[in-house]
Amino acid sequence: MPDAIFADPRLARVYDAFDGARTDLPAYLALADELGARRVLDVGCGTGALAARLASGGRGVVGVDPAEASLAVARAKSGAVTWVHGDAAAAPAIGADLALMTGNVAQVFLTDEAWTAALRAVRSALRPGGVLAFETRRPEARAWEEWAADAGPVTRDVPGAGRVERRREVTEVRLPFVSFRYTYRFLDDGTEIASDSTLRFRARDEVEASLAAAGYRVRDVREAPDRPGLEFVFIADRPAR
């Protein structure tokens, strides 16, 4: 079941206003160019920020997400993307040149079984030689400490929603799991909606081992250009043989 931040229609409509400029996305657009990818799968596409940009470049793009409310926002951004409601297992076998999991998508799979199932489902959607790329936060960077220190309210004026205030609270750190809560208050009518999330922080060697076990070959592990020292970007392929 997706977290409320993605699944509640009212929260989905204000998500982009708080998500910011998405400085992580240019690196993935550049990777698609680097690989000459024409068919791209965006797993956990959310409100469609990346998928819509990929499609605007003339690529064939499929965006998959388990939150229908987020997909409703995404559909309004682009009619050129094929939007699919479902988890990674719903990813169609399109023979993708490139599959992507951006943001915190790779960390929402809390059990080894769920993560392995997602990796295998995505592998089935790739053509032989196709590439999977995703980012994951480095546990040693201890991102949750910054989250806890930066818990003050943020207010945005959101078209169609009015003034909205968001607060963040780290609710539990029990590594490798970190849980946190976003609370949104719609100032015009006083409505308050909370969304609880948990992420799993995997070490680099753990991620590499999981990729190998799911039938991938790791090509490269890069720094996230927008967050140097804080995240890894894994680039792995489905071997052609």
pLDDT for 45 equals: 97
**What is the band of 21 on the pLDDT scale with cuts at 50, 70, 90?**
confident
- For domain 4-138+202-237, the CATH superfamily is Vaccinia Virus protein VP39 (3.40.50.150)
Residue type present at position 81: V
Which element (helix H / strand E) includes 15? helix 9-19
The CA distances from residue 207 to 35, 54, 145, 236, in Å, are 22, 26, 22, 11
Quick check: 241 pLDDT over 80?
Answer: no
Q: Does residue 60 contact residue 40 with C-beta atoms inside 8 Å?
A: yes
CA distances (Å), origin 145, targets 22, 97, 151, 203, 235:
21, 37, 10, 17, 27
If pLDDT is split at 50, 70 and 90, which confidence band does 150 have?
confident
Q: Is 107 helix (H, G, I), strand (E, B) or coil?
A: helix
Q: 66 pLDDT exceeds 80?
A: yes
Torsion (CA) 56, 159, 170, 74 in degrees, nearest 10: -30
- Report the candidate in 49, 41, 22, 6 with the shortest Cα–Cα distance to residue 227: 22
Q: What is the mean pLDDT of residues 188-198?
A: 96
pLDDT band at 22 (very low <50, low <70, confident <90, very high): confident
Least confident of 60-64, 148-152, 222-226: 148-152
Neighbours of 96 (CB within 10 A): 26
H or E element, residue 122: helix 112-125
Question: Per-residue DSSP letters for 24-82?
Answer: THHHHHHHHHHHT-SEEEEET-TT-HHHHHHHHTT-EEEEEES-HHHHHHHHHH-SSSE
Q: What is the mean pLDDT of the chain?
A: 96
Alpha carbon 68 to its chain centroid, in Å, reads: 15
Quote the strand ranges of 82-174, DSSP E: 82-85, 96-101, 126-137, 154-158, 162-174
Q: Which band of pLDDT confidence, cut at 50, 70 and 90, is reported for residue 70?
A: very high
Q: Provide mean pLDDT across the span 23-46.
A: 96
CB atoms within 10 A of CB 137: 22
Digit-coded pLDDT (tens) for 125-145:
999 999 999 999 999 999 999
- Res. 233: pLDDT tops 90: yes
Nearest alpha-carbon partner for 147 in 175, 177, 180:
180
pLDDT at 151: 77
Query: Strands of 191-200's sheet, edge to edge?
Result: 154-158, 162-174, 177-186, 191-200
Question: Tell me, what's the pLDDT at 234?
Answer: 98
The crossing angle, in degrees rounded to 10, of helices 68-77 and 9-19 is 60
pLDDT of residue 235 exceeding 90, the answer is yes
Identify the three-state secondary structure at position 160.
coil
Bigger pLDDT: 178 vs 240: 178
